[in-house]
Structure 1
Amino acid sequence: MANKKLLLISYYFPPFGGAGSGRPYGLFRHLPEFGIDVDILTVKPIASRSFDYSLLNKTDESRIYRSKSFDPQRIMYLFGMRTLKDKTIGKGKTASDRFFPDSKIGWVKQAVKLGRILIENKKYDTIMSTSPSISSHLVGMKLAGEFNLKWIADFRDYWTSYKPESWYDSKSQVEKAYKLIAEITKKADAVTTVSKSIGNFLGTKDIIQNSYNTELANLWSSPKTTDRFVVGLLGTIDKLTIVEPLLKMLSKLKGTEAELFAKIKVIQVGQIHDPDFEKKLSEYNLSETIEINNFQERKTTIEMLNDSHLLYLGLNPEFEEGMLTSRVFEMIASGRPILGYTTKESELGCLIQDVKNGITFQDDTIDVGVTYLKKNIEDWQNSKLTIIPNDTYALPYSSVEMAKKVSEIIKNIL
């Protein structure tokens, strides 16, 4: 039986280096293993915070179609800008409120135009659009309606990382956003998302979590023998994923057990969008403890963090509902214990408990976190800390498993 054909619509796709490209990339890479060939409809090169050119090869490009666009990031690229600074992004948030549903609306008409040509020539069986950006769903909805194709709308977030009421100041914009969400979920043949909380928000039970990159996961190895216990900071540091709880914990350990603290080193790899990050390091007197590497390609990131013995991830309590940041799956694949600043009841907290290789703590239970850190350091000193990358408990969270679940939904609607 011939493979089914899917047109996957995603504004964010490699070489875009942010977390938003991981899910569509995983589907692009692994859906063919389950009888579904994938073409990508995305945007031509854009200005961005980060890029990762290591994921795609020349053969891949034959299945990736990049349309013109008149959105701000594409226009900045055309004017010679390549890397966006945090200051530019901050201004962009203000500017994005002038667009609806988001600043990628200038991509929609051009993506639809190219999509029509692709559908007429390649005869796809179904369409899938994934957000953010919500504009991707406008493309999917338009093409599915015109060509009477089955359509899956995939939500990696609520609207952005925030619900509409937390994103817009204008009541009319909030109402407009909810009206569009209702239209998308009504017209789509299936609605998928990454967490139960977002599923409840959208009214869907098709929950397919994000995943770790199966190929890159093979690069994880057990840490080499070192004279320092290494805590890894993987991924973006911003107002959603925060680092200060770890700094408080380390500062407390430094004040009570200086000898043990002296054995700790922190390695940071990822974008830093907290303007006060270095100031906080100084305030907690930890500048000499942390090695800052900023954003790196994913292969390099793993190479750097292979020295780590434990990984930290913290979620801002104001925003943690429904947040299951994709980096946690890379952490699971690494085999390192996870020190999570979150509630036990949060989706992240439940996941850490499910894999049984980590602990959660909050401000009022910081001693629990300190105790867990001390135990891991002592186990490391006594050669009792066992780290097994890609252990069996990690396999359900691989990009292969994610693709398998999506393939089942595709086959069910056809």
Structure 2
Amino acid sequence: MQLKEKLGVKWIADFRDPWTTIGYHKQLKLTEKSKQKHKALEKLVLNTADDIVVTSSVTKTEFEAITNKPIEVITNGYDYESVESKPLDAKFTIAHIGSLLSKRNPIILWQVLSELVQEHEGFSKDFQLNFVGAVSETVLQSIETVGLANHVNNAGYVSHKESIIYQKSSQVLLLVEIDSKETKCIIPGKLFEYMVSNRPILALGPQGSDVENIIKETNTGNYFYYTDYKSLKSTILAHYKSYQNKNLEVHAIGLQKYSRKSLTSKLASVLKKP
């Protein structure tokens, strides 16, 4: 901000995350005076910058209530990675790639999977839940409580290249976000890698999130709220039947706009603005 004032240079403020509405902001134990200072600084930055870049449509809407300056949404994106091609898993695998910590513990999903295991002998025989990355003990305990422990394969940390192989060989890819209004603007980087893995995404999160809109827009999977018990169960069962028939597929559309090449071109257009 001072460089803009002293030198008269153009300033583009790039927000990788929101400011005063980010999830952990409430946990900072700020005084009322400090909270007001943050809000004042946020408003000052948003109204001083020439252009603003955000990674989320939700964040754009929030900022539009504070400033009239132009705001461009440029999300994170994907690069196509060349990895060894492997066949799809023989089992009906649902895989979560990345850390799954205690705050993102989808009890509803574990209950649905437990019911399907109990109600369908074939599902019980074929189903496997793959975790690739750190998983909290709270999550593992929840899974054990509903009787799914024997269906879990906990691979732990693997290289990024190996994680891509897991993604491309899994039957279904799992994406979980905390059920909170503060997480509506969170778009995990792995979403974009999931999208180009050519496997159906099963996502849970808050209503009205950017992830929900992207998955629907690109036809890359299904998004559920934490109250969608019946539809979550019926979708997983439908995926399983497609797996049995060897036609569990995804027909994605419009992925090109999320390539890093396209996103960089979009950023270049912002930089070239007079």
In the other structure, the counterpart of 1:300 is 162
1:164 and 1:176 mapped to 2: Cα distance? 13
Kindly state the Cα deviation for residue 144 of structure 1 after the two structures are TM-superposed: 4.4
1:239 and 1:202 mapped to 2: Cα distance? 30
1:229 and 1:346 mapped to 2: Cα distance? 28
In the other structure, the counterpart of 2:123 is 260
In the other structure, the counterpart of 2:67 is none
Provide closer, same or farther for how the CA distance between residues 358 and 150 of structure 1 changes in structure 2, counting only shifts above 3 A. same
- Aligned pair partner of 2:227 in 364, 379, 388: 364
Q: How many residues align?
A: 267
Per-residue CA deviations over 1:269-319 (Å, capped at 9, x if unaligned) read 2343x4512222221222222222333332221123332011111222224
Q: Contact conserved, 1:337 with 1:357, CA < 8 A, in 2? A: yes
1:159 and 1:268 mapped to 2: Cα distance? 32
- Aligned pair partner of 2:97 in 208, 222, 234: 234
In the other structure, the counterpart of 2:16 is 156
Aligned pairs (5 A) from 1:68-107? none
Residue identity in the other structure for 1:335: N
2:159 and 2:2 mapped to 1: Cα distance? 35
Q: Contact conserved, 2:88 with 2:170, CA < 8 A, in 1? A: no
In the other structure, the counterpart of 1:410 is 271
Kindly state the Cα deviation for residue 345 of structure 1 after the two structures are TM-superposed: 3.1
Residue identity in the other structure for 1:207: V
- Aligned pair partner of 1:199 in 60, 69, 75: 60
Residue identity in the other structure for 1:294: G
1:181 and 1:193 mapped to 2: Cα distance? 14
- The secondary structure found in structure 1 opposite 2:273 is helix
The question of 1:219 aligning with 2:80 is answered: no
2:101 and 2:118 mapped to 1: Cα distance? 27
Identity %: 20
Q: Which has the higher contact order (CA 8 A, sep 6+)?
A: 2
In the other structure, the counterpart of 1:29 is none
Kindly state the Cα deviation for residue 164 of structure 1 after the two structures are TM-superposed: 3.9
Per-residue CA deviations over 1:361-387 (Å, capped at 9, x if unaligned) read 234322211211121221122121235
The question of 1:290 aligning with 2:152 is answered: yes
1:146 and 1:291 mapped to 2: Cα distance? 58
Q: Contact conserved, 1:344 with 1:360, CA < 8 A, in 2? A: no
1:144 and 1:291 mapped to 2: Cα distance? 53
1:220 and 1:179 mapped to 2: Cα distance? 51
Aligned pairs (5 A) from 1:10-409? 141-159=1-19, 161-162=22-23, 164-165=25-26, 167-203=28-64, 205-212=71-78, 214-216=79-81, 218-219=82-83, 224-238=87-101, 241-272=104-135, 274-318=136-180, 319-343=182-206, 345-386=208-249, 393-409=254-270
Q: Contact conserved, 1:229 with 1:380, CA < 8 A, in 2? A: yes
Q: Contact conserved, 2:100 with 2:133, CA < 8 A, in 1? A: yes
Kindly state the Cα deviation for residue 231 of structure 1 after the two structures are TM-superposed: 0.9
Residue segments in structure 2 that go unaligned for 5+ positions in a row = 65-69
Provide closer, same or farther for how the CA distance between residues 412 and 241 of structure 1 changes in structure 2, counting only shifts above 3 A. farther
Q: Contact conserved, 1:233 with 1:269, CA < 8 A, in 2? A: yes
Compute the TM-score of the two structures, normalised by the length of structure 1: 0.58
Q: Contact conserved, 1:343 with 1:360, CA < 8 A, in 2? A: no
Residue segments in structure 1 that go unaligned for 5+ positions in a row = 1-140
Kindly state the Cα deviation for residue 173 of structure 1 after the two structures are TM-superposed: 2.0
Residue identity in the other structure for 2:241: E
Provide closer, same or farther for how the CA distance between residues 183 and 248 of structure 1 changes in structure 2, counting only shifts above 3 A. same
